[in-house]
């Protein structure tokens, strides 16, 4: 994979409520309470926009993987001068 270039602008994690015990949105809210801004990526799923909602291919259940991922992915803050204390705080919140 020598031809792959990373931009390191996102640090996505997947949160499976059944494995983790909390939903992605619950973790998102815990981070927000500490003024840590994550991002619910692929949310809402584009097929839920009014422009596409009427298409047969966008009906619920037609894209099960995309529907699951849109409920699980959370991008954590990442940038060059992110203080290690904030990283520790993020880890503590996630590890609960």
Q: Would you state the pLDDT for residue 24? A: 96
Classify residue 39 by its DSSP letter.
Answer: B
For the chain, which ranges sit under pLDDT 50? none
Report whether 93 contacts 31 (CB < 8 A): yes
Classify residue 47 by its DSSP letter.
Answer: G
Q: Would you state the pLDDT for residue 80? A: 84
Q: Would you state the pLDDT for residue 1? A: 65
**3-state class (DSSP) for residue 15:** coil
């Amino acid at each position: 994979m020598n031809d792959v270039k990373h931009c390191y602008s996102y640090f996505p994690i997947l949160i499976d409520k059944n494995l983790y015990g909390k939903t992605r949105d619950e973790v998102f809210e815990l981070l927000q309470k500490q003024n840590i801004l994550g991002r619910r990526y692929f949310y809402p799923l584009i097929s839920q926009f009014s422009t596409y909602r009427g298409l047969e291919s966008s009906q619920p259940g037609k894209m099960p993987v995309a529907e699951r991922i849109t409920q699980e992915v959370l991008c954590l803050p990442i940038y060059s001068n992110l203080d290690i204390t904030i990283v520790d705080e993020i880890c503590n919140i996630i590890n609960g």
